[in-house]
Structure 1
Amino acid sequence: MLHNVYLYGGQVTSWKNAHGEELLFVSSKASFRPPRAIRGGIPICFPQLKSTGSLEQYGFARNRIWSIDLDPPPSPSDISHKAFVDLILTHSEEDMKIWPHRYDCRLRVALGPTGDLMLTSRIRNTNTDGKSFTFRFAYQTYFFVTDISEVRVEGLETLDYLDNLKNGERFTEQEDAITFESEVDKVYLSTPTKIAILDHERKRTFELRKDGLPDAVVWNPWDKKAKSMADFGDNEYMHMLCVEAACVEEPITLKPGEEWKGRQEISAVPSSYCSEQLDPLRLLLRG
């Protein structure tokens, strides 16, 4: 049996197509135990994306044990799900010492009828002291690619981005598509709802569709940084690319009782767009 969702981190770690090919990257050196986050799959970044104060980088959601959500909110699209699981993360006394807010963070991981992988997050402010809170969020999706030098990302051309390798300085993308020859760590702003990742070597295209997440992070550590990461193989950068549906530039603010909803859907199709569809029965969910 194949398990693809871990309660640790509420994290998807496997998504395969009808041919049994893995579509997500997980490092061979990944740790699946606290306190280190799982390197690969789709980590949930909440309530922040960078180290500030006592909060760890990318927040704490990816380092916590989630629970099965026994009382999920109703979803009108349930009928289209071939399989799904609902998870929930709530505040703990430990977390309130570093982020003093009460919240419910719900996650539905679902498979569509053609094998699309859908993640829907709902975050509610449950503070009883009348205080609002502000957060940032990202689905840090690690795509498996055959050869990063043969990959291009389309849909982000002409957009402004923040270059994290240049102290977050703002630039405008000049290329027709993003290609990779060295380390990349960019935050594209006010991005379209659809982004395409073309794996030329595999003749496969990933389509990423998102809602409620206006920005997109594109990251590959390349060789030098890969060698400095304990939970990442020296040459594994060649076979992965992070494209993250995110809310980075403008944080989200919720008053008590208010809820935010964000969604990401990804599909993998032959680059010719004419071959058979993915088979959702080949991927199983575990809570």
Structure 2
Amino acid sequence: MGHYTNLTDPRTELEVVRDWNGVEQVVLRSPRGAYARVSLHGGQVLSWRNDRGEELLFTSSKAIFKPPKAMRGGIPICFPQFGNSGTLEQHGFARNRIWAIDEGHPPLNQNDNSSKASVDLILKPSEDDLKYWPHCFEFRLRISLSMDGDLSLVSRVRNVNGKPFSFSFGYHTYLSVSDISEVRIEGLETLDYLDNLSQRERFTEQGDAITFESEVDRAYVGSPNVIAVLDHEKKRTFVIRKEGLPDIVVWNPWEKKSKTMVDFGDEEYKQMLCVDAAATERPITLKPGEEWTGKLELSEVPSTNCSGHLDQPGII
């Protein structure tokens, strides 16, 4: 166990612990009691709790906590491939690598003066990675917990190659819900989506809101930067804000597929929903020296207070 100085607020220190595999994890806490835990395996957020101690992210009871396999739950980072349509392993290799704490990099300029507990991580390709994906990059990831308990992730990918490269990306966010049949998503109405259950055929969303009664695996393209996930039974709403990520991927495996996944319980599809800020329809291309930034912010509010959230212009 140890401590690192917080790069955003020098008055704050981060607790660093090790899991049973010896992999470091960083614990972030807000003064009001919200909590987040980040593993250096994958740069993955494993837990996000509000100030009442309620877990807001889903983790499977059958999740495998052992590198190099990514854990089923939390927020895996999908890079340089989101999905399995390319030549790499599904969702790329970033979620299966050991990241480092980036102590020497100056902090980002903050848009506000609020105190945030933050950690900066960095990933660079190994020699093995370069054999499969021959592009030199620096991937910097800042994970922050605000005073109000909002969780934000800021990814910056820089091309330090001598030639351009392209990638797709996703924050594969497993939200914890009370009952999938009581959940709806607002903000994706009338959008086109690519249906991964129909060879990525393009359809147009017809519903007033997205609800769930069977397996869903869709990429909503050109989506707004703010959407809401309403959980009627728990009377709470997740507000998802994003920048630099044009798409939203919605996934629930439902009953049949759940039974085929060794690291997922047969009935657990009822308690989870993946809503992923992503760039999947069109790859991101970086020229030598260029840098891309993709931001995600997750907030949890009582459903009765949600009106107006989707109209807020400010992101992170």
Q: Structure 1 length as normaliser, TM-score?
A: 0.92
* Of 188, 203, 214, the match for 1:182: 214
Counterparts of 1:238 and 1:156, CA distance in 2: 21
- Structure 1: any 5+ residue segments left out of the alignment? 275-287
* One-letter code aligned to 2:133: W
Is residue 146 of structure 2 the alignment partner of residue 115 of structure 1? Answer: no
Specify whether residues 263 and 53 from structure 1 end up closer, same or farther in structure 2 by C-alpha distance, changes over 3 A only. Answer: closer
- Helix, strand or coil for the counterpart of 1:272? helix
* Of 101, 107, 119, the match for 1:74: 107
Deviations 1:207-256 (A, max 9, x none): 00000000000000001100100000111100000000000111111111
- Helix, strand or coil for the counterpart of 1:14? strand
**1:82 offset after TM fit, Å?**
2.4
The question of whether the paired residues in 2 share the 8 Å contact of 1:24 and 1:144 is answered with yes
Residue 84 of structure 1 is matched in structure 2 by: 118
Specify whether residues 81 and 32 from structure 1 end up closer, same or farther in structure 2 by C-alpha distance, changes over 3 A only. Answer: farther
The question of whether the paired residues in 2 share the 8 Å contact of 1:81 and 1:110 is answered with no
* Of 225, 249, 267, the match for 2:281: 249
Report how many aligned residue pairs link the two structures. Answer: 272
- Helix, strand or coil for the counterpart of 1:15? strand
Specify whether residues 235 and 89 from structure 1 end up closer, same or farther in structure 2 by C-alpha distance, changes over 3 A only. Answer: same
Is residue 269 of structure 2 the alignment partner of residue 237 of structure 1? Answer: yes
1:272-283 to 2 correspondences below 5 Å: 272-273=304-305
CA RMSD of aligned residues (A): 1.4
Is residue 11 of structure 2 the alignment partner of residue 5 of structure 1? Answer: no
* One-letter code aligned to 2:78: C
**1:35 offset after TM fit, Å?**
2.3
- Helix, strand or coil for the counterpart of 2:293? strand
Residue 55 of structure 2 is matched in structure 1 by: 22
Q: Which moved more, 1:137-146 or 1:65-74?
A: 65-74
* One-letter code aligned to 2:222: S
- Helix, strand or coil for the counterpart of 2:301? strand
* One-letter code aligned to 2:250: V
Return the structure number with greater relative CO, CA threshold 8 A, min gap 6.
1
**1:173 offset after TM fit, Å?**
0.2
Counterparts of 1:265 and 1:25, CA distance in 2: 17
* One-letter code aligned to 1:169: E
Is residue 94 of structure 2 the alignment partner of residue 36 of structure 1? Answer: no
Residue 205 of structure 2 is matched in structure 1 by: 173
Moved over 2 A (4+): 50-54, 71-74, 78-82
* One-letter code aligned to 2:48: W
Is residue 247 of structure 2 the alignment partner of residue 200 of structure 1? Answer: no
Residue 224 of structure 1 is matched in structure 2 by: 256
Give identity over the alignment, percent: 66
